[in-house]
Structure 1
Amino acid sequence: MEEFSRQLHGKKVLRRFDSLDIESSTVPGRQGHGIPEGWSVVLHLAFQSIGIVYGDIGTSPLYVYASTFSNGIKHNDDILGVLSLIFYTLTLIPLVKYVFIVLQANDNGEGGQFALYSLICRDAKVGLIPNQQAAEDDQEVSNFQLELPSSRHELIASRVKSKLESSQFAKFFLLLATMLGTAMVIGDGVLTPCISVLSAVGGIKRATSAVTDDMIVWISVAILIFLFMIQRFGTDKVGYTFAPIICVWFAFIGGIGLFNFIKFDPTVVKALNPKYIVQYFQRNKTEAWVSLGGTVLAITGAEALFADVGHFTVRSIQISMCSVTYPALILAYAGQASFLRKHNHLVKDAFFESIPDPLYSPTFVLAILATIVASQAMISGTFSMVQQSLSLDCFPRVKIVHTSAKYEGQVYIPEVNYLLMLACIGVTLGFRSTAKIGNAYGIAVVFVMALTSAFLVLIMIMIWKSHILLIVSYVLVIGTLELLYLSSVLYKFDQGGYLPLAFAAVLMSIMYIWNDVHRRKYFYELNNKVSLEKLNEIGAADTKFCRLPGLALFYSELVQGIPPIFKHYVANVPAMHSTIVFVSIKSLPISKVAVEERFLFRRVELKDQNVFRCVVRYGYTDRPQEQEPLEEMLVERLKEFIVDDFWFAQSKLNDVENDGESLDAGLVNEDVKHVDEEEVEREIEGLDEAWRAGVVHLIGENEVVAGKGAGIGKRFLINYAYNFLRKNLSQTENVFDNIPRKRMLKVGMIYEL
């Protein structure tokens, strides 16, 4: 209490939130987690990134040539054509596109499909996710309505933004495309362990002929089971701990590649000339086009460069890619090409056959370890993608376990982990070879890349306002290359290519069902909110209601009006607490919200009652359960708000009194004129008394059913599909984890949507 008295009597710089702006791009504290950019820190992060980011793309040399030449090598110069393809693909997509362009489109330090989507949503009003709905007093409008275009690029940006904002189809399409990209990345989390582990274990055939293909499959399954079992212990740290393993792996494959390049055929350097690509297509025509499905596997994991940028910095990833990963991969592929020029018949096991005998054993062990690191990194990335989807209400609220207080990316989701394990085992036992899995893998990889390019073009037009020639060049070079690869991998749809699309269809159905019903619930509450007039009638009915000492927190999705849960509660329990706070917990489509900006308060004008509205905001990488207990933070911030509100009223009153011009005195609220320090202190004392008397957290326990007269599709969506997901997945409200269970009261309601 003494602290607040000092604030009342001392000078204080005010910051008052007149509207509950839950999505403005100008919200303080949105600058991301901001890792320092000192060179020592950058180099340290660059080293750590090798263990997290490059495991997938770094293990691609295990199977690229075998997948590309699935029918054998028919002409020796075909090797030069494929090497040239690999070189230019690695240069244009992972290096130019991702490292130097896409990484610049991070969302305050975070990457991934939802990061691109949220970046677009904050610049244009195209979001359909309920947590992006502004409060009733928020008069913010889109930037294009406020800024007059001063150049041709800004004019194009304004027109594109206007078209998107006025098209409901475009809004749905953007959300569905984001869900598709996320589903494909999750599908990648299934296929990466399968193809990587199976390829590495296959190297044992060189050591002994006693090992059969069936034995290789079952050994791979055993490794996969072990891999998924250890995820619960927080294996995201394995990427950091095993960064030296991946560094040694790159040193081995780069060194072996250089040795083979010098020993067998240094003339493969001719592959730098793209004419060999043209000749390769002229000789093989359709077969060359089909073989692109194998070549594209050289860039698997490129999306991890962007998805994992939140753990590091843009500069650290650029350094590690340019100084270690890219040179090692080029040398590895060039060395295998030199070896194959002399040993065409060994293309099925090109990687292990090209290893010098003294280095075979350590390279085989390194390959196993590298594929485990690559696989678990993709699994952890899948957990992060699910967490982002869940935070934006696009995935059922499955249980999320944070396995480390130090590293924010270390999450474990039991249901997802076991489903991924079963899917990996099923794929490995069903396909049994890297060639067939490669057909499925290619579709997942290229689909995500194409979607990233589509989002990036929108960002280049609307946000960066890039020159039209740069945009056209990007589309013609990168876009054309990705579409060419996409057409090739789709050709193998019936040879395993259907698998990632089937995964994506199932995941998208789950995400769409959950998001659609969640939006319906939100707008049901919005349409059935309690008006202030009705609230005043309730407050004035002193004869019907008992006044209880204590603090009541009513939780709702709404930031507009009074939630229907309150009306339902007082209709059945005719009692009101001395202090009431309507709380909305929002997961924003940004990475982090600073603690000091977490709570936004407003007063609710209810006669003779202390009633407030509060929005509690979290980013999708914040962890509410590891913060200070919610109710303690809320009460402390509410006290600060009461003090700030007093100073705001005083400054407003002083401005009017000191203004020499004639002003209508009615513009100043009469209540403001009589505010004094004693009243503020009494209000804070009343809040302390309510806090000491006890806190009750009232949370809606909603049963959702289709309304009367609903069609068959709507009834199936709500009554069966949504409720099936809700009942069969262990629901958890992570934002409620720091609420004492003994003081939590659930209020049951039926929502007829």
Structure 2
Amino acid sequence: MSHDAIRATNEESRDQEIFSPKLDGKKLSWQKLRRNDSLEMESGKFSGRRVHGSKGVSWTVILQLAFQSIGIVYGDIGTSPLYVYASTFTKGIKHNDDILGVLSLIFYTLTLIPLIKYVLIVLQANDNGDGGTFALYSLICRYAKVGLLPSQQVEDCDVSNFQLELPSKRLRRASRLKSKLENSKFAKLFLLFSTMLGTSMVIGDGVLTPCISVLSAVGGIKEATSVMTQDRVVWISVAILVCLFMVQRFGTDKVGYSFAPIICVWFSFIGGIGVYNFFKYDPAVVKALNPFYIVDYFRRNKKDAWISLGGVVLAITGTEALFADVGHFTVRSIQISMCTVTYPALILAYAGQAAFLRKHNDLVSDTFFKSVPDSLYWPMFVVAVLASIIASQAMISGTFSIIQQSLALGCFPRVKIVHTSAKYEGQVYIPEVNYLLMVACVCVTLGFRTTAKIGNAYGIAVVFVMTLTSSFLVLIMLMIWKTNILYVIVFVLTIGSAELLYLSSVLYKFDQGGYLPLAFAGVLMTIMYIWNSVYRRKYYYELDHKISPDKLKEVAAETNFSRLPGLAIFYSELVQGIPPIFKHYVENVPALHSVLVFASIKSLPISKVPAEERFLFRRVEPKELNVFRCVARYGYTDARNEHEPFEIMLVEKLKDFIRNDYWLSSVLIANGEETETEGELNDGQVDEDMNMKQAAKKEKQQEVVETEIEIIDKACRAGVVHLIGENEVIASKGASLGNRILIDYAFNFLKKNLRQSEKMFDIPHKRMLKVGMTYEL
């Protein structure tokens, strides 16, 4: 066992011994109760560890979740049959067996990537039940110290959800890889960059999915009437998209699970029509199970076959939603719904369309609606439009969620997060982002007008995210799961090679619309880089200029320094020490509230932090100052101040800390005195005077605790003031032109035009005081 593991085990056992309720009447050594007087080593109040999903979920619940997941997760991949063949055969069908080659490609692509890679492998890499790019990044950050901010604390490992279930056997390969990552600044930056890129591509996906899905579905009405031109189809699609974005403010909680029956009807329709076409037109398409037809297709078409892969890959759009939405369901429920409903229905749909095309090569541009029997046309049209709207809704909601995650980790400017559901924390709405997405969708629809052009752009966003997920997964396999190297090699050679082949194909169409998601990603990456870069520089500035406890004592000891009634909460992003802006405050306002709490809001690389483990306190000596430091820890999917005001939770946890702090001190003192008098006691007789003395001390300690809690209550009654550090950042003298542009113009433009910190934490304006200070970075 490594030294880190041994030390972690010792610390865990010591914490359990200290905070066990069985301590009364037992002898404890000073070493077991000793603690360092710093927030980095401060022992707080910890609950027993919990493992996500440790309680068995009944099969009834799993099946209910499996049904609900059909409406939330599979809208995007489920509507792919609307446009896959049209996007693949853009130049028409040159040979009848080409249809078998493409069907074989679709079959093996659906089997290899959504079914094997995501359902069987990637879903196992969830972060305490949550999925997505940030979940993979958080797992790596927890196992190896690859975060760019020096805000790691010993206590973070004691949060229940922070723990990783690791195999007992530790391999040298994993240790070497971990060491290289921790010691390489380039590797840390590259991981963060890759996470940002994946995030940007998913957001680009959120723009393109509504466009291509709605445009494909509405285009079906051209089959019913010749009056409907392409221009009218485009404008109807735009109207539907605008309505879709306008209703986002109401949230998906009330209507979310009504999606499941509609998508189930959709899968029943496409599967049933697929079976009908299969037997009516050409049952021989079952020959596509033979991968030889793929080889034959490439021999016959060569470069054109490779280019057509950009259309085939559209069959797996929305696959990332399998992983991203696992937090709302369970791994088992998504596996069941994929294997029993989605996968069979899609295979039947594509096989049926292939059978139809074998007899109607000239109808490939409108394959979907041409293959629908006349009696089912209108029901199919209505369900197709509804399914495309649901697919769009899922990606829009996913975009909101992923921006919330990037915001929590300091990778995105502050925006307003509205939680639309009291029941499901993951359901959020971001007004600013919603309107930007709406404008982007309308512009893309009006600019591209056809699904073929949008499909070129769509493919790049899809394959980029999948490739990044595979790269992160290989790291997790090697470093955390300790997977056999042969399995990792097989994964890379099969799935990795297939994704790289698809990526090369979609990049070929860069000038035909493929530039669009890369342009979106470029803009978003620029915004993320500007914000994160200056955010880190500002943190390091505060760390280098923090106030020492001795300096605080000097400030408080000055004769012209007065105390005001009330409780002040001084907000700062600095986790270690007291921020420099406090010195600036007391130099200009030589007064301090009767109780002062330095509150730092910190994001941990986990999805959720249990409420009872959220606050970590430390007393700033001397006690008479009534000054405390507090770190409020949140996961990247945690809701903030939605159910209970932040200040109420902080004050209650502060009182708990005071009680625990005095209790711990009394145990230490009693243990020391017991050790001193141990040799003086004979024949097991108990010194009554000693017992009486200890009882008196306990009573006195209780009085002190009650007095201090009364001071807190009195301060709260006098009023709670929120002091916000409003830091202005400028480039230091002599800074390069690039730094001046980055800090003075780009960052400050974002900061001035976006939401400020008090709005993020719903701080009441009547009790808020901003303290300004300029940082030269």
TM-score, normalized by the shorter chain, greater than 0.5: yes
Partner of residue 301, structure 2: 284
Distance of 1:735 and 1:32 partners within structure 2: 28
Alignment of 1:249-648 (within 5 A): 249-541=266-558, 543-606=559-622, 608-648=624-664
- Contact 1:23 1:588 (8 Å CA) reproduced: no
Distance of 2:757 and 2:54 partners within structure 1: 30
Amino acid at match of 2:348: L
CA displacement, residues 485-513 of structure 1 (integer Å, 9 cap, x when unaligned):
00000111111111100000000000110
Partner of residue 134, structure 1: 152
Partner of residue 667, structure 1: none
Amino acid at match of 1:61: P
Distance of 1:23 and 1:249 partners within structure 2: 56
CA RMSD of aligned residues (A): 2.6
Of residues 490-499 and 688-697 in structure 1, the stretch that sits farther from structure 2 once superposed is 688-697
1:467–1:564 Cα change, 3 Å? same
Give 3-state SS (helix, strand or coil) of 1:620's partner: coil
- Contact 1:16 1:645 (8 Å CA) reproduced: no
CA displacement, residues 396-421 of structure 1 (integer Å, 9 cap, x when unaligned):
10112222212222211111111111
Partner of residue 668, structure 1: none
Distance of 2:341 and 2:73 partners within structure 1: 12
Amino acid at match of 1:371: S
Amino acid at match of 2:420: T
1:736 to 761, 764, 772: 761
Distance of 1:50 and 1:694 partners within structure 2: 51
Q: Give unmatched runs, 5+ long, in structure 1.
A: 1-9, 141-146, 664-671
- Contact 1:35 1:312 (8 Å CA) reproduced: no
2:89 to 69, 93, 109: 69
Give 3-state SS (helix, strand or coil) of 2:94's partner: coil
Of residues 596-605 and 454-463 in structure 1, the stretch that sits farther from structure 2 once superposed is 596-605
Distance of 2:157 and 2:285 partners within structure 1: 64
CA displacement, residues 47-69 of structure 1 (integer Å, 9 cap, x when unaligned):
11011100000000000000000
Q: Give unmatched runs, 5+ long, in structure 2.
A: 1-19, 25-32, 159-164, 680-696
Note the C-alpha offset of 1:373: 0.5
- Contact 1:239 1:377 (8 Å CA) reproduced: no
Distance of 1:22 and 1:185 partners within structure 2: 39
Amino acid at match of 2:744: N
Note the C-alpha offset of 1:154: 1.4
1:685 to 710, 714, 733: 710
Amino acid at match of 2:464: F
Give 3-state SS (helix, strand or coil) of 2:641's partner: helix
Note the C-alpha offset of 1:615: 0.8
Note the C-alpha offset of 1:35: 8.4
Note the C-alpha offset of 1:679: 2.0
- Contact 1:393 1:515 (8 Å CA) reproduced: yes
Partner of residue 751, structure 1: 775
CA displacement, residues 545-569 of structure 1 (integer Å, 9 cap, x when unaligned):
1122221111111121111121111
- Contact 1:73 1:344 (8 Å CA) reproduced: yes
Amino acid at match of 2:195: T
Note the C-alpha offset of 1:741: 2.7
Q: Number of residues paired by the alignment? A: 724
Partner of residue 685, structure 2: none
Note the C-alpha offset of 1:650: 2.3
Distance of 1:97 and 1:56 partners within structure 2: 18
Partner of residue 211, structure 2: 194
1:230 to 247, 269, 273: 247
2:230 to 196, 208, 213: 213
Distance of 2:424 and 2:76 partners within structure 1: 21
1:243–1:488 Cα change, 3 Å? same
Distance of 2:411 and 2:56 partners within structure 1: 32
Partner of residue 695, structure 1: 720
- Contact 1:30 1:590 (8 Å CA) reproduced: no
Distance of 1:565 and 1:684 partners within structure 2: 28
Distance of 2:249 and 2:175 partners within structure 1: 48
Give 3-state SS (helix, strand or coil) of 1:586's partner: strand
Give 3-state SS (helix, strand or coil) of 2:255's partner: helix
Distance of 1:29 and 1:658 partners within structure 2: 32
Distance of 2:228 and 2:614 partners within structure 1: 59
Partner of residue 729, structure 2: 704
Of residues 346-355 and 645-654 in structure 1, the stretch that sits farther from structure 2 once superposed is 645-654
- Contact 1:540 1:607 (8 Å CA) reproduced: no
Distance of 2:173 and 2:678 partners within structure 1: 46
Identity of aligned residues (%): 74
| 1:112 aligns to 2:132 (yes or no) | yes
1:57 to 77, 83, 106: 77
Partner of residue 195, structure 2: 178
Give 3-state SS (helix, strand or coil) of 1:530's partner: coil
- Contact 2:166 2:480 (8 Å CA) reproduced: no
Note the C-alpha offset of 1:653: 2.9
- Contact 2:40 2:154 (8 Å CA) reproduced: no
Partner of residue 676, structure 1: 701
CA displacement, residues 638-691 of structure 1 (integer Å, 9 cap, x when unaligned):
11111111121222234434448999xxxxxxxx99983322222222222222
1:99–1:725 Cα change, 3 Å? same
CA displacement, residues 52-90 of structure 1 (integer Å, 9 cap, x when unaligned):
100000000000000000000011111111000000000
Amino acid at match of 2:367: A
Give 3-state SS (helix, strand or coil) of 1:608's partner: helix
